[in-house]
Each structure stands twice: as structure tokens, then as C-alpha cells.
Structure 1
């Protein structure tokens, strides 16, 4: 491998850097996008159970936000109801959607970089091959004959860059598509959890219209 790298010339070094970065991103995303880490299976039921009779304190909401990505989304809904007791269903839904967009952005971290490596590696390999071919044909004597065996060996060495670029790009593209699918599934799980939490939290929202009707009825029911 070392002899191949030395023979391929300087254009292979950017490809080696891309391979190291791509491998690091793949390992990091494999660890970070574990479903149990993003969507703890019992967290939603625990939150609903804790807030069944009353809303939790803000310190509990803060600890929930630090638990996981799902915890951040659920904590956003709880905080919205605590800070605005007269919140409407539309306002609570917007709070969940805002937290969901931030969570989706967090889950998609580094995926653009991995996709860029998958797209750029073949082009970088082709560039290295072109540079190698230019050096090979430029080294040939203008008036002298060329050795076909030596020329064929030089071309094969120049093609190392293209081959190495494809070796990097194919796994990077496969993992990029895989991670995109994982993120889509996790986002759907977050949306379903928010939809389940929405009616539960609306029980604690003060109905301003109902309160006004009650007050009006009380004012009108004066004794004769």
C-alpha cells in the first residue's frame, strides 16, 4: 500500500485525507444516530405519567431537555405551556414544530460533509489520473521512441488515483443514503411523539373564552 501511495504521486494525499475524514464521520454518525439514544422508548410514557395531574417544575423540564433529542422536543412543549398558560393549540403546535426543526438539523449534522466526500472523491481521483498522464506523456522524448511496457506501467500507476477515489466514494455514498433514511425515521418518531403529547398538554391550557363566559354568567346572575 505504501508503494502504491508513493507511486501515485501527490494527488493521492487529498484522497487519503478525505478517506480519514469520511471514516471518522461514519463512525461518529453510527454512534450518534442510535435510535435508543435519540428516542428512548419509555421516555414519552414517563413524561405523560409525571405530568398527568400537574405540570412539572422548570428544573425538571431542564433535566428532560438534557436527556435526549426527544427530551428536548417534549421539554419545549412543557415550557411553552408553563410560560404561557393561555396558549392555543396552534401556538403549542408551533412550539413543537420549532423544536422539531432544531432537532432535525441536529440529526443531519455532518451528513452534508459526508455527501460532499462521496461526490468529490471520484473527481479528485480523476484529477490525479489526469495529472499522472500529463507527467507520463510529458516525460517522453519528442523525437525518440517510447517503451510500450514502461508507458503501460506509468498509465496503470496513474489510474491508482481513480481507483482510490472510487474506493472512498462508494462506501461514503452508501452510508450517506443510509444515514438519510435513519434521520427520516427518527424525525417521524419525533413528530408522532409530539402529536401524542399535544392533547395531553392542552388539558393544562387556560381557556380564555371559557373563563370569560363563566365570568359573564356570574355577573348576570344577580339576585332579585
Structure 2
């Protein structure tokens, strides 16, 4: 492995750095973007029980806000539960935008890695071919060993760049889709609370779902 990295030239260092960063982001996002951590299924039913029992106070709202991103969104709306529906919905949407930014954290970096690593590999290819032609100019084509270094550098950096870019792009697309699904789930759950508290939805199975 070390010999391959050495043969690839100095451009292997940023490619390897990109691979380490991408791996760290993928692991962190897999841990963070779990539905049970983002939008627990029991949360809306619990909030409704607190509201129905008139036990919803500041302490519970603070606990709800710390519970999960969905809890934070619900707490933002519940703070304004005495106000009209539009104000409650607006506060939910404002907090929701902040939550979405947090869910998308590091994804731009992952997308950037997916974009630049093939370019780094291509740059390595160009540098390797320049070395090949320079060797041909000075040594001719009679000694293959003189050309081998430039050719191997060209091929190794290209392969390394693609090896990092392809999985990075796959996971970038996967996490973007997962964030969209989680956002839709949180929006649906938050609107249940708004509609029930303002009489636009019947209580029962919809709230307990």
C-alpha cells in the first residue's frame, strides 16, 4: 500500500485526506440521521397527553426541545399555542429551517469531496503523462523503466481519485434523500399538533400515531 501511495506521487496525499474526511462524515451522518434520534414516533402522542392533562409547562417544553430535532420544532410551536394558527405555524417553520440546516451539516463537504477527487486524479494523470513525455524527450523510448514511473503515477492517481469519489457521491445522494424524508416526517408530525390544537383535526388515532 505504501509503495502504491509513493508511486502515485504527492497528489495521493490530498486524495487520502479526502478519503479520511469522507469516511468520518459518513460515519457521523449514519449515527446522527437515525429516525429514532430525529423524529421519535411516540413524541406527538406524548405532547398531546401533556396538553390534554394541562400539564404542559416551561420545564416540559425545555425538555421537549432537548429531546430531538422534532421535539425542538414542536416546542417552538407550543410556546405560541395560545396564539392564532398562523403564528404557531410560522414559528414551527422558522425553527424547522434551522433544523434542516443542522441535518444537512457536512453534506456539502461530502459533495465537494465527490467532485474534487476525480479532478485531483485527473491532475495526477496529466502530471504523470508530462513526466512520460519529458522522459521520452531526454531518454527516448528504448528504456521502458524510464517511462514506468510517469505511467504508474498517471494510472494510480486516477484510480485513487475515482475510488474516493464514487462512494462519496453515493453516500451524498443517500443522505440528501434521507434528510428530505425526515423533514417531511417532521413537518407532518408538527402539523398534526397544530391542527389538533386549533380544532382542524379530530383527536384520536392521528395524534397517537
Corresponding residue to 2:182 among 183, 186, 193 = 186
CA-CA distance at 1:55 after TM superposition:
5.7
Quick check: 1:78–1:201 contact (8 Å CA) kept in 2?
A: no
Matches of residues 179-218 of structure 1 in structure 2 within 5 Å?
179-202=175-198
Q: State the Cα distance separating 1:200 from its structure 2 match.
A: 2.8
Name the TM-score, length of structure 2 as normaliser.
0.89
Equivalences, count: 198
Give structure 1 stretches of 5+ with no counterpart: 204-224
- Measure how far apart 1:153 and its partner are: 5.6
Aligned equivalents of 1:123, 1:200: Cα separation in 2: 53
Give unmatched runs, 5+ long, in structure 2: 200-209
1:75 aligned residue? 75
Q: Tell me the alpha carbon deviations over residues 9-57 of structure 1, each in whole angstroms, 9 at most, x when there is no partner.
A: 1011000000000000000000000111101111111111111142611
Q: Which residue of 163, 168, 173 maps to 2:169?
A: 173
Report what 1:215 is aligned to.
none
Of 144, 147, 157, 1:149 maps to: 144
Q: Is the 8 A contact 1:111 1:176 kept in 2?
A: yes
| Residue 75 (structure 1) shift | 0.5
Runs of 4 or more consecutive aligned structure 1 residues displaced over 6 Å after TM superposition: none
Q: Secondary structure at the match of 1:165?
A: helix
Alpha-carbon distance in 2 for matches of 1:147, 1:22: 43
Matched residue SS, 1:54: coil
Which residue number in structure 1 is paired with residue 134 of structure 2? 138
Kindly state the Cα deviation for residue 60 of structure 1 after the two structures are TM-superposed: 1.1
The match for 2:36 is 36
Cα root mean square deviation, aligned? 1.6
SS in 1 for 2:170: helix
Please state how far the C-alpha of 1:113 moved relative to its aligned partner.
0.5
Partners of 2:8 and 2:159 lie apart in 1 by 11
- What TM-score, normalized to structure 1? 0.83
The offset of 1:199, in angstroms, is 2.2
**CA–CA distance in structure 2, aligned partners of residues 59 and 166 of structure 1:** 51
In the alignment, the residues of structure 2 paired with residue 113 and residue 145 of structure 1 have an alpha-carbon distance, to the nearest angstrom, of 44
SS of equivalent residue, structure 2 residue 80: helix
